Every structure is written in C-alpha cells, then in structure tokens.
Amino acid sequence: MEQLNLVETFSEFKEFKNIDRETMMRILEEVFKHMLSKRFGSADNFDIIVNIDKGDLEIWRNRIIVEDGMVEDENTQVPYSDAIKIEPDFEVGEELSEEIKLIDFGRREILAIRQNLISKIQEYEKNNIYLKYKDKIGEIIAGEVYQVWKKEILVLDDEGIEIILPKSEQIPTDFYRKGDTIRAVVSKVEMKSNNPVIILSRTSEAFLERLFEAEVPEVFDGLIQIKKIVRVPGERAKIAVESYDDRIDPVGACVGMKGSRIHGIVRELKNENIDVINYTTNPSLYIQRALSPAKVTSIIINEEEKKADVYMKPDQVSLAIGKGGFNIRLAGRLTGYEIDVYRDTDVDNEDVDLMEFSDEIDQWIIDELKTIGCDTAKSVLDLDVSELVKRTDLEEETINEVIRILKAEFE
C-alpha cells in the first residue's frame, strides 16, 4: 500500500507540476539514492528503474558472491551459501541482483522519501521559474490579474506562475480588476527566501521600446534603431530614432500611415503623448527637434556645462514647456542638456497672449479674464485693479499677483 501511495505521488507531481519525464526520473533517482546511502552506507551498487508513465518503480541491489566467511562489506558482497538459496547455479565471483521492496523500508522511511521528494520537486520548480524568467528580463509578457492590492497587483501567467506588478511600476491611470489581461515588461527577477520573485513594469522605457518592436517591423528587423527613450508614464514620452537605410523615413515608419502604428502603443500606455524624432549628432538640431512641437528661433549652447539657452517667439514658449513642464523636462533628458527657454521679443511693446503665462497663472484665472475680453497681457494691464475686481469674480490679491507677473514680462 505504501508503495502504491508513493507511486501515485510521483504521478501527481508529473501531472500538476509540468515536470518532464527525464527530470522526474533524475529527481527520483537522487531521492532514493540518498535514502539508500543512509541505510546501506553507499548506493553505488544499486540500480533504480523508473517508469513514470506506468507508475512502476524498482530498486535492485547488486552484490558479488564470495566464499563463506570472506565477506568484508555486506552491502556489496554476499556469502556463497546465501546466494545458492536464491539460485542454486550461482558460483563465486558472479553478481547477484536482488530487488528491494519499498514496503521493507517501513512507514517512517517511506514518509521521509515523500517529504524529500516534495522538497526536491519544489526546489526544482522554483529554480526552473527563476531561470525561465531570468532569460525574459526586458521582454513583454501577458498575464491575468488574480488579485489587486493597494501596493501591488498579483498576476498569473499562462502556467499559473505568480508575478508581481508594483504600484510604482503602474501607469498612474492604470486600473485593473480581477480577471483582466495585463501586458508588461519583465523588469527584475530575484530569489528571496529561496523563492523566485518576478517584478513587472509598465513605466520603464524598455516597455515602450518593446511595444515599438512589436508594432513597427523595421524596428524589430533592426533597420530602424531606437537611440534613446525618455518617459513620464501616462503623460508624455520622447523617442529618438535613426534609420540605417536612406530610403526609410524612421519617424514616418514608427508613426505609420495616419498614425496607424503608434495609435496602438498610445492606447496601451493610456493615451500617453509620444513624440518620435529623428536622432542627430548635431546638438543644436537635436535640441530643436526635442522641443517639438515648439518652433525655435535660435539656440546658444554651452558644451562645457551642457547647457542650452533657447529663444523662441512668445507664442511658442508654452508649447516648449508643455503641460506640467513635461515637454521641456523630457527634452533635457533626451538630449542631455539643461535647457532654458526665453521669449524672443523683437519689439519691446509686443503684446503677449495670456496663454503664454499658463505656467505661472492658473488656467481658471486666465479663463475668468478671457470672459471679460482680456486675451492678452496688455489688455489686462490697461484696466485698473478696481475695474478688474468689479468685472470678474477674482479677489484683489489675486489680480495684483497677475499684474505683477504680466508687468515682469515687459520690464
């Protein structure tokens, strides 16, 4: 009965743990040889025959027949008088093979074998998972959301392996429920307390790069090289590309006809705004392209300090800075230069659209001023503070601060 239970255990592990036949046989041999070594001192003279498919397991001990009284090692030698009881035709010097029954070991040893087997199987599984995902670092995988917690999401792959997507590696607008399919890149694999820990990321630059490889065949084939990617996940990303074939427009190929290729990537990244630009070794041109969609008038570069003073028309400044300052910040990270933007006013009394001050004045204040017909800086400055207070819902303190900001533009 014990033997039957043990063989059933082998079959269960093979079925549910996805262990191949050769590996299962090797683990079984290791477990039983360890047990035989403890009992007999050595397992070198034992043959273990395993048939996983049929659930058969046989253990044979091989011993040399010696003259009676000449036995030096009972494990490897058997006296002639004992050998002929099994087979009368045996002679001294021949090898005797005897089958060892599992039931002969006793319940305690059987339980020890089962526990050792379970331990070996788990160790193999953990190591196999670690090695499998160690080779997948930087690759995109898809999994099913199994559990959503405050600080992380537990994801199961198609083999039921547990993977973690931390909150810090999620796009801010990501929202998942149990059962949802999730795509992310494998960012880190490590062993903690002898258990493999697999970390996913949807915020890394590698995730965006893999998405481009999946959507743009020229990138996958190496005809277009991605030189650098910078991101503010969920907000904006800039990607510099270069083509090794003069016939291929790298930006056009990445964007696709009417944006067909990049739209899928944008949707995956929760409408993250993606700027694809041509890479160049000319720093001035590179900075100009990086600040897209703003148009630059002139650039002064300090190579030693890696700084760039960029001048542009007033109506382009807000475009260069971008919502939340993301555009100029990413341009700096992409080019490696600290970028400062200045309004290039050829005429001292040139007026400036109020929207150009959106980085200094809240949008709701600008909207309130526009409701009374004040669309430019000078149209606001032409009115008295009392008049502005009377005609808008703004407080005097707020209006004084707005006037201070607008006057600074013309000083």
Are 293 and 370 in a shared domain? no
| CB atoms near residue 345 (< 10 Å) | 15
Same domain, 20 and 116: yes
259-268 contacts at long range (C-beta below 8 A, 24 or more positions apart): 261/215, 261/216, 262/215, 264/211, 264/215, 265/208, 265/211, 265/212, 265/215, 268/183, 268/211
In a domain, 45, yes or no: yes
Per-residue pLDDT, 2: 44
Say yes or no: 52 and 127 in one domain: yes
Domain boundary among 131, 153, 176: 131
* 308 assigned to some structural domain: yes
Residues 287 and 400 in one domain: no
Which CATH number goes with the domain that contains 333? 3.30.300.20
Are both 284 and 331 inside the same structural domain? yes
Domain closes at, from 323, 344, 365: 344
The residue range of the domain holding 101 is 2-131
Q: Which CATH number goes with the domain that contains 110?
A: 3.30.1480.10
Is the dihedral angle over the CA atoms 167, 171, 176, 180 positive or is it negative?
A: negative
Which residue carries 């890479």 as its tokens? Answer: 279
Map 212-239 to HEC letters. HHHHCHHHHCCCEEEEEEEEECCCEEEE
Q: What are phi and psi of 164, to 5 degrees?
A: -110, 135
The CA–CA distances, whole Å, from 294 to 143, 260, 311, 322, 329 equal 40, 24, 11, 9, 14
Q: Is residue 201 part of a domain?
A: no
Same domain, 20 and 110: yes
Q: How far apart are CA 382 and CA 401, in angstroms?
A: 15
Q: 297 and 359 share a domain?
A: no
Final residue of a domain: which of 83, 100, 131?
Answer: 131
Q: Are residues 22 and 93 in the same domain?
A: yes
Q: How many domains does the chain have?
A: 3
* Closest-CA residue to 222 (of 214, 231, 230, 213): 213
Question: Domain for residue 321, yes or no?
Answer: yes
pTM here? Answer: 0.67
Q: Are 370 and 404 contained in the same domain?
A: yes
**Residue 99: inside a domain, yes or no?**
yes
- Flag whether 251 is in a domain: no
Are 137 and 188 contacting, i.e. CB atoms less than 8 angstroms apart?
A: yes
Lookup: tokens for 56 = 């058969």
In DSSP terms, which residues pair with 61 in a beta bridge? 46, 98
One domain for residues 312 and 382? no
Which residue, 139, 169, 87, 121, is CA-closest to 10? Answer: 121
Asked if residue 290 and residue 365 are part of one domain, the reply reads no
Q: What is the pLDDT of residue 353?
A: 81
Whether 263 is in a domain gets the answer no
The pLDDT tens digits along the chain (411 residues) read: 344 445 555 555 555 455 666 777 777 778 888 888 888 888 888 888 776 666 667 888 898 888 888 888 888 888 888 888 888 888 888 888 888 777 777 777 777 777 877 787 788 888 889 999 999 999 999 999 999 999 999 999 988 899 999 999 999 999 999 999 999 999 999 999 889 999 999 999 999 999 999 999 999 999 999 999 999 999 999 999 999 888 899 999 999 998 899 999 999 999 999 999 999 999 999 999 999 888 898 899 999 899 999 998 887 888 898 888 899 999 999 999 999 998 876 544 567 788 878 878 888 998 888 888 888 888 888 888 888 888 888 888 999 999 988 888 776
Domain identity same for 289 and 363 = no
- pLDDT, residue 86, reads 84
- Asked whether residue 309 is assigned to any structural domain, the reply reads yes
